[in-house]
Amino acid sequence: MRIFCGRANPTTGAMEWLEEDENYDYHQEIARSRYADMLHDKDRNVKYYQGIRAAVSRVKERGEKAIVLDIGTGTGLLSMMAASAGADFCYAVEVFKPMANAAVKIVEKNGFRDKIKVINKHSTEVTVGPDGDMQCRANILVTELFDTELIGEGALPSYEHAHKYLVQEGCEAVPHRATVYVQLVESKRMWSWNKLFPIHVEAEDGEKVIVSPSEVENCPGVPSVCDIQLNQMPSSDFTILSDVVPMFSVDFSKPVRSASTYYRVQLEPVKSGKAQVVLSWWDIDMDPSGMINCTMAPYWVKSTSAFQ
């Protein structure tokens, strides 16, 4: 049995799928995963179902059969949503074998055996044709490959391959679009995560202060990403220095490139202070109009969807 598990490359930070030994305790992998969190995320699931149902309707209105490709199906939830919404057939791709096996049982138990085919492969290994994993290219692409940084789980290579080999040109995509936003703030608390400050300790002869060498204090360090829940940051812990600015946007219904690139935006100050931390989050539009929007925006931002 071949078992692939996701691992972050310590050099590049990219997510990679590595083959584990047959004795690997994959139960721990599942226990540490976020499958349960996603299954209980009602807002996310409702928005996905609304987007999938709308995509199936648009395809049907064109007089076409709705053929769905679900990359990273996990438990098979999104494929079952598509089948419930009237899709003619769904190809549910899952590389993690224990989860793929679970998806097969879940799909069968819910009565979708004739509508959903679970494929235990990485999506870049899936083939199309009479003898392939898929009989034809899909016209609806459904994915949940996102992490806290949006595209950190190898999403772009999967999208790039899918558009080249697995889906039709001009396919529907759920989500349809994603946008990353940034905002500049001053925050002693968040800045301290990247700096060494004097440490006060109690000693027998009084309080002592441990101070780092000047070479360390003056070293700017390497910019790093800290995964935090912004909604749990008290407003007293930071000062907003700029407006919210869209960093970049990705249209998943069109061919996507995975090659390295960069984006540059200019943040105009709205208040004086030390530019210490850039906060970032993302929104996803489940439909082309942007009416079905799932936002990660923090509590102090009303809406960051540039397309509403």
Do 150 and 9 fall into the same domain? Answer: yes
149 catalytic, yes or no?
no
187/91 same-domain check:
no
What is the separation, in whole angstroms, between the first and last Cα of the chain? 47
CA-to-CA dists, residue 259 to 24, 68, 97, 250, angstroms: 33, 26, 28, 14
Which residue among 144, 186, 202, 215 is the active-site one?
Answer: 144
Domain co-membership, 90 together with 211: no
121-163 residue pLDDT tens: 999 999 999 999 999 999 999 998 877 777 765 788 899 999 9
Q: Average per-residue pLDDT in the chain?
A: 86
pTM comes to: 0.81
Residue 127 belongs to a domain: yes
pLDDT of residue 307: 36
**Whole-number percent of the chain with pLDDT over 70:** 83
Clarify whether residues 13 and 157 are in a common domain: yes
143 lies in the same domain as 223: no
In a domain, 166, yes or no: yes
pLDDT at 262: 84
Structure tokens that stand for 44 in this block: 């996310």
Per-residue confidence (pLDDT) for residue 85, from 0 to 100: 98
CATH number assigned to the domain comprising residue 263: 2.70.160.11
pLDDT of residue 250: 93
**What pLDDT band is residue 21 in, cutting at 50, 70 and 90?**
low
Answer yes or no: is pLDDT of 5 > 90: no
**Are 131 and 194 in a shared domain?**
no
For this structure, is 144 an active site residue?
yes
Q: Give 168's pLDDT tier (boundaries 50, 70, 90).
A: very high
Distance (Å) of CA 107 to CA 53, 95, 99, 114, 193: 18, 16, 12, 9, 44
Q: Which of 174, 200, 227 is the last residue of a domain?
A: 174
Q: Which domain holds residue 139?
A: 3-174
Question: Within this chain, do residues 162 and 183 fall inside the same structural domain, yes or no?
Answer: no
Q: Could you read off the pLDDT of 184-216 as tens digits, one per residue?
A: 999 999 988 877 778 888 888 888 898 888 887
Same domain (yes/no): 146, 241: no
Is residue 304 included in any domain, yes or no? Answer: no
Which range among 33-42, 48-57, 173-182, 218-227 shows the weakest confidence by mean pLDDT?
33-42
Structural domain contains residue 118: yes
Q: Answer with the one of 142, 174, 206 that is the final residue of a domain.
A: 174
Q: Is the pLDDT of residue 111 over 70?
A: yes
Please report whether residue 308 resides in a domain.
no
Domain C-terminal end among 125, 145, 174: 174
Answer yes or no: do 31 and 131 share one domain. Answer: yes
- Written as one letter, the residue type at 203 is A
What's the number of domains the chain is made of? 2
- For residues 126 and 189, membership in a common domain is answered with no
More confidently predicted of 181 and 192:
181
Which residue in 64, 149, 153, 215 is the catalytic one?
153
E strands along the chain, which residues?
Answer: 3-8, 15-20, 67-71, 89-93, 116-119, 138-143, 167-174, 177-186, 199-203, 206-210, 239-240, 245-251, 277-285, 293-295
Distance CA 4, CA 72 (A): 13
